Amino acid sequence: MSIIPATLTDVPELTALINSSYRGESSKKGWTTEANLIDGQRIDNESLTEQMEDPHAVILKNTDDTGKITGCVYLQKRSDKLYLGMLTVSPLLQANGLGRRLLQAAEDYARSINYKTITMTVITTRAELLNWYERRGYQKTGEVIPLVIPEQFGILKQPLEMFRLEKAV
């Protein structure tokens, strides 16, 4: 398995992986699903392409020995902090250390570009996910922000808020 930057040719496979990991019935096979909180797709090919074309952003992907993408993480330079989002692991491979390896790759990437802090947001009701990040050194900043997403990327089943988390790397 290797973790390397994704390319635009990876967009369809990444879109399918991200949507299957966050939303819908397939996501319920893993522990990081949002399906009980949000309906609809998480991302589409057009939006993922836009994110990948951003010169301040990169998506790191993990591939298995057959070349299939099994995980990814989105990283974007925002001022003096690196934003981490869409940490994704195939639902069938969750709880086997791949998320940890992707998170470590993100932290290594931050250091390689001289960023000292990684920031992210996590839905406040996702206690198991918050605990997972906190065990890896991420801390709540005290900032709580409402989750607002365009309807094309999901329909909230209830009002949701997110904690901002940070870690010095």
CA–CA distance, 106 with 48 (Å, rounded to integer): 18
DSSP state of 101: H
Tokens of 24: 């819908």
83: phi then psi, degrees, rounded to nearest 5: -85, 135
What's the pLDDT tens digit per position in 78-97?
999 999 999 999 988 888 89
pTM of structure: 0.92
User: CB of 101 within 8 A of CB of 84?
Assistant: no
Give the CATH number, domain containing residue 128: 3.40.630.30
User: CB of 164 within 8 A of CB of 78?
Assistant: no
Q: C-alpha distances in angstroms, 71 versus 18, 92, 130, 154, 160? A: 8, 11, 19, 21, 25
What's the pLDDT tens digit per position in 96-131?
899 999 999 999 999 999 999 999 999 999 999 999
- Give me the number of domains the chain comprises: 1
Range of the domain at 131: 2-168
